[in-house]
């Protein structure tokens, strides 16, 4: 299976930046996409950004497009989310997730890293 561990969250003032990291371990070969989600209010997690592991094609939610950048270092099995021009509404617990090939869903999740903008 794939285990994910996030880091890089913290407290930042509006307009600031943070770089979130997600290190994958275990059976990483079968990951189809990697993504970032956030949980701000209630139990729901909203999609923030995603990247196709093989081809590098990217998705961004409209709320973060132009401010956030998703990237990966496959040699290090590490996913990144560069968050710039942070707003108070970006405050959330940020999770990384893996969409494993053939599963049709986001099946593996990290523990989350807190981003607080104030």
Q: State mean pLDDT over 2-23.
A: 97
> What is the spatial distance between Cα 118 and Cα 106, in angstroms, rounded to a whole number?
30
Note the pLDDT tens digit of each residue in 31-79: 899 999 999 988 999 999 999 999 999 999 999 999 999 999 989 999 9
Q: In terms of Cα–Cα distance, which of 16, 17, 3 is closest to 81? A: 17
pLDDT at 83: 98
Q: State mean pLDDT over 11-17.
A: 98
């Amino acid at each position: 299976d794939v285990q994910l561990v996030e880091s890089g969250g913290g407290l930042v003032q509006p307009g600031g930046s943070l770089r979130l990291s997600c290190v994958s371990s275990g059976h990483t070969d079968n990951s189809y996409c990697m993504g970032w989600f956030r949980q701000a209010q209630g139990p729901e997690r909203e999609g923030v950004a995603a990247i196709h592991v093989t081809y590098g094609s990217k998705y961004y939610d409209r709320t973060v497009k132009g401010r956030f950048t998703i990237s990966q270092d496959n040699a290090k099995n590490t996913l990144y989310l560069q968050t710039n021009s942070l707003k108070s509404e970006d405050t959330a617990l940020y999770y990384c997730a893996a969409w494993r090939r053939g599963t049709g869903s986001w099946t593996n999740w990290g523990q989350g890293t807190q981003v607080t903008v104030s």
